Amino acid sequence: DLNNLEVYSLLDTSFADKYGVLEEEVVSALEQEGMGDQLQAVRSYYDGYDTAIPDLRLYNPWSLLNFLKHQRLAPYWTETGRYDFIAEAMWAGPMEMREKLLAMLDGKSCEVPFETDTDFSTLRSEEALWGLLYFSGYLTGTKSNSLLRARVPNEEVTRELSVMWKRIFKSKNVSEEYSFLVSAILTGNTSAFATNFKQITEVFRYFFLFVSLLYFPSFHDTARSPEAFYHGFMLSLLFPQHSSGYQLSSNREHGLGRADIVLQPVPPGEKPAVIIELKAKSGESSLERVAAEAHQQIMEKHYYRNLLPGTTRAILWGIAFSGNEVSVKSTSIPLGVVG
């Protein structure tokens, strides 16, 4: 039996430059193939993996070799395997994880708790999931003590994270209902929202609870914070839109407060932005009244301000929950008219 092995990764300086393709090697290969003018595109798609050696980044070798062979940009590395259990674990994690992933998909870096020595067969902590995302190639970054300054390395991985998330809906046989639901949210169709949301929640609410208990039991506390649960659930439903022509944000400052969820078209234009405020029913108030209060909060706190310049319209959603029941109020407003 082998024992006392030493493990070296990109986080160690000893062999950090041996795990990928160097910039000068990429330049040489592209020139040899007569594709020197493709360097910038290849950089954005396959470059970006940080190492323990300062200022040294690596290209994904498998993807680069396939690009040279087929001479077209495509997600070659991510086609080599399926990691849907990672998406399931991300569904289950605390909402702050999804918010940090959204920031990384916008090109930002975030400090996350990180473990290098973890049994990935049982993802029981936030540190373990961030470690899995790093060692699977979905994240890169530099480590300082128990924290990783993490980011998404390139366009290839950005696209795969969205596709991987969408596959969950297909695996649960609600792809069509999910498409209808997203269309309803983006257009303000309240009846289509209610119909398709109910069908999806019948499957996904229990899936969401199950994977929460399976992967992150310490974060499972819907009784004390039902709004946080529904917020996380809606954020998970809308997560794939972030790489489908929209910028998705959660708990960001807008107007006079922090909007629960905001979807902004990128680039801004004719498509409306979407602003969602969520409330859980409590006491004797009806669901309809709670939804109206959520909608009124958007108006009173002017959450439609501070959107991307050029956004001309916003659809406002007040959504109230109680168990599997939902009530909504939605309106569409032209921006620059309502003060």
Assign 68 a pLDDT band (cuts: 50, 70, 90): very high
pLDDT above 90: percentage of residues in the chain: 37
| Higher-confidence position of 3 and 44 | 44
Q: Residues 55-70: what's their mean pLDDT? A: 92
Amino acid at 184: A
Query: Does residue 2 have a pLDDT over 90?
Result: no
pLDDT at 1: 61
Q: For residues 23 and 70, give the distance between their C-alpha atoms in angstroms, rounded to a whole number.
A: 20
- The CA distances from residue 268 to 21, 73, 166, 244, 289, in Å, are 37, 26, 24, 13, 33
- For position 278, what pLDDT does the model report? 93
Per-residue model confidence as pLDDT tens digits over 173-212: 888 998 999 999 999 999 999 888 888 877 776 666 555 5
Return the biggest CA–CA distance within the chain.
74
Does the structure show a pLDDT above 70 at 132? yes
| 39-46 helix and 61-70 helix, angle to the nearest 10 degrees | 140
* pLDDT in the model for residue 135: 87
Give the model's confidence band at 50: pLDDT under 50 very low, under 70 low, under 90 confident, else very high. Answer: very high
Residue type, 80: T
Sign of CA dihedral 82, 85, 88, 93: negative
Q: Which pLDDT belongs to residue 70?
A: 93
**Phi–psi pair at 144, nearest 5 degrees:** -135, 110
Split at pLDDT 50, 70, 90, the class of 118 is low
Look over the chain and give the mean of its residue pLDDT values, rounded to a whole number. 83
89-118 average pLDDT score:
80
Note the helical H segments in the chain. Answer: 23-32, 39-46, 61-70, 84-92, 95-105, 126-135, 155-171, 175-187, 190-215, 226-238, 287-300
Q: Using alpha carbons, select from 175, 311, 189, 326 the residue that is nearest to residue 254.
A: 311
Say what the pLDDT of residue 186 is: 92
CA 108 from centre of chain: 13
- Residues 141-150 have a mean pLDDT of 90
Q: Which residues, other chains included, contact 191 with Cβ-Cβ below 8 Å and sequence gap of 6+?
A: none
Q: Give per-residue pLDDT as tens, 225-282.
A: 667 777 877 888 888 887 678 888 888 888 899 999 999 998 888 889 999 999 988 8
What average pLDDT score do residues 312-330 get? 90
| Residue 22: predicted pLDDT | 93
Can you give the pLDDT at residue 207? 64
Q: pTM, whole model, 2 decimals?
A: 0.76
